């Protein structure tokens, strides 16, 4: 009885190569269908995270086709790898040079616009990896310089697998600095998985040919481990640095908020105290100037620690706003008769206080004191609403004010 001729059985490592090629093609086809059918959950497996772009899915389909053709002894399939290298290379040029070659939405419109600076454009690092894989696979169309080709496949496979695995770890540990790879466009988790598959497929392919030619483990065997270790070290350093910077920013922000809250509280308290003293004077402090002066002295004593330099009474006389009385009396440059309307910052604050019938403070201004100092002045109207006859003013020096605030923190 004649024996039926059968195809030779594939070894386990050949079956691994075949499986990786089929899975890579399947991932590309499913992702492309997801874009065509608007199935967001397929192209965006992690909600609100970067999706696998249509061009990336097309490249993985072409790479998978090239791998499958290699297993089925089809030389023409290697040209599919050249197509993937072309798309990846053009995308990488767009990202690196900052140009738009109009290929990002050539086949499908990007309606998600998540973690990308350009609709439909994938990560630069992914594009570079796809280009390297495509070139390495297309090189198989020639039998020349086989040793260099094997080394290129091993290097490309190691880099692709490391980038893919590191990106997946970045998503697992929620480290945006890792899966962004220093750019404003994130590398999708689905793209990272495809890069990992493509990298493993290249390594297995190079391993098989090295075993056939050398009869033992290849000379480049330690390289994937070295590249993987360096990549993991780099991404964990990036992740830890980003985490430390985030913590530092958080602490700095909290401290700044605390300082701002303390300053606002202190200023509001001083404004309320001056307004209360002003309103206690009814329409005219002249009715009991002695009592008004006593209240002003008390307010000065209570506010001196916060940098209060003086409390003064201002008369409204036509267009002039002249100081009538001040405590304490200055040893030099007696401010009595000083026209506050001559300073635009003071005049603006006084007009605002009149309009809202409440206290108002100036922006940075020169405070009247023994020596040149800068600070702020609080004005509060006294008298008829909308047309006050007097104003109360309290002047504060920044240096003493902030020194007291710092001690309170």
pLDDT in tens, 66-113: 999 988 888 788 899 999 999 999 999 999 998 999 999 999 999 888
333, pLDDT greater than 60: no
Q: Which of 124, 120, 127, 125 is nearest to 60 (CA)?
A: 127
Give SS3 for 196: helix
Range scoring the smallest mean pLDDT among 11-15, 47-51, 189-193, 307-311: 11-15
Give the model's pLDDT for residue 2.
Answer: 47
Using the predicted structure, report yes or no on whether residue 397 has a pLDDT greater than 50.
yes
Asked whether the predicted pLDDT for residue 1 surpasses 60, the reply is no
- pLDDT recorded at residue 145: 76
How does pLDDT run across 196-235, given as a tens digit for each residue? 999 999 999 988 888 776 666 677 788 888 888 887 787 7
| d(C-alpha 371, C-alpha 374), whole Å | 10
Tokens describing residue 138: 């297309």
Tell me the per-residue pLDDT of 108-153, one tens digit each, with 9 for 90 and over: 999 888 888 889 999 999 999 999 999 999 987 777 777 888 888 8
**Nearest one of 204, 199, 147 to 13, comparing CA atoms:** 204
> Which pLDDT tens digit goes with each residue over 232-248?
787 778 777 777 877 88
Has residue 15 got a pLDDT over 50?
yes
Which two tokens mark 207?
């391993």
Q: What is the pTM of this model?
A: 0.63
pLDDT in tens, 279-316: 776 556 777 788 888 888 999 999 998 889 999 999 98
State pLDDT tens for residues 22-32.
999 999 999 99
How would DSSP label each residue in 102-141?
S-TTSSS------S-SSTT---HHHHHHHHHHHHHHHGGG
| pLDDT(274) > 70 | yes
């Amino acid at each position: 009885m004649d024996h039926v001729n059968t195809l030779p059985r594939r070894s386990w490592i050949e079956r691994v190569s075949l499986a990786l090629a089929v899975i890579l093609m399947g991932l590309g086809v499913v992702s492309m269908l997801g874009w065509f059918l608007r199935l967001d959950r397929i192209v965006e497996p992690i909600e609100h995270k970067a999706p696998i772009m249509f061009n990336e899915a097309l490249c993985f389909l072409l790479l998978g086709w090239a791998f499958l053709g290699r297993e089925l002894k089809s030389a023409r399939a290697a040209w599919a790898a050249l197509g993937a290298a072309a798309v990846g290379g053009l995308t990488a040029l767009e990202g690196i040079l900052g140009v738009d070659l109009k290929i990002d939405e050539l086949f499908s419109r990007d309606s998600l616009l998540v973690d990308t600076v350009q609709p439909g454009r994938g990560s630069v690092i992914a594009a570079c990896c796809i280009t390297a894989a495509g070139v390495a696979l297309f090189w198989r169309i020639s039998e020349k310089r086989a040793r260099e080709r094997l080394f290129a496949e091993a290097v490309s496979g190691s880099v692709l697998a490391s980038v893919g695995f590191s990106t997946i770890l970045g998503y697992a540990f929620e480290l945006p600095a890792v899966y962004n790879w220093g750019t404003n466009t994130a590398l999708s988790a689905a793209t990272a998985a495809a890069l990992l598959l493509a990298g493993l497929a290249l390594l297995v392919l190079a391993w098989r040919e090295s075993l056939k030619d050398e009869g033992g483990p290849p000379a480049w065997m330690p390289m994937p481990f070295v590249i993987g270790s360096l990549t993991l070290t780099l991404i964990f350093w990036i992740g830890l640095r980003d985490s430390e910077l985030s913590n530092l920013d958080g602490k700095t922000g909290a401290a700044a908020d605390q300082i701002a809250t303390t300053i606002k509280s202190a200023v509001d308290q001083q404004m309320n105290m001056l307004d209360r003293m002003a309103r206690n004077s009814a329409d005219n402090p002249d009715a009991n100037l002695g009592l008004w002066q006593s209240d002003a002295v008390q307010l000065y004593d209570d506010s001196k620690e916060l940098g209060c330099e003086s409390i003064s009474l201002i008369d409204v006389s036509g267009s002039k706003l002249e100081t009538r009385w001040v405590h304490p009396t200055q040893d030099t440059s007696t401010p009595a008769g000083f026209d506050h309307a001559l300073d635009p910052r003071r005049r603006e604050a006084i007009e605002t206080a009149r309009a809202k019938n409440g206290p108002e403070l100036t922006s940075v201004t020169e405070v009247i004191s023994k020596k040149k100092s800068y600070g702020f002045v609080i004005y509060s109207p006294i008298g008829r609403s909308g047309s006050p006859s007097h104003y109360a003013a309290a002047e504060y020096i920044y240096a003493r004010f902030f020194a007291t605030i710092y001690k309170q923190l």
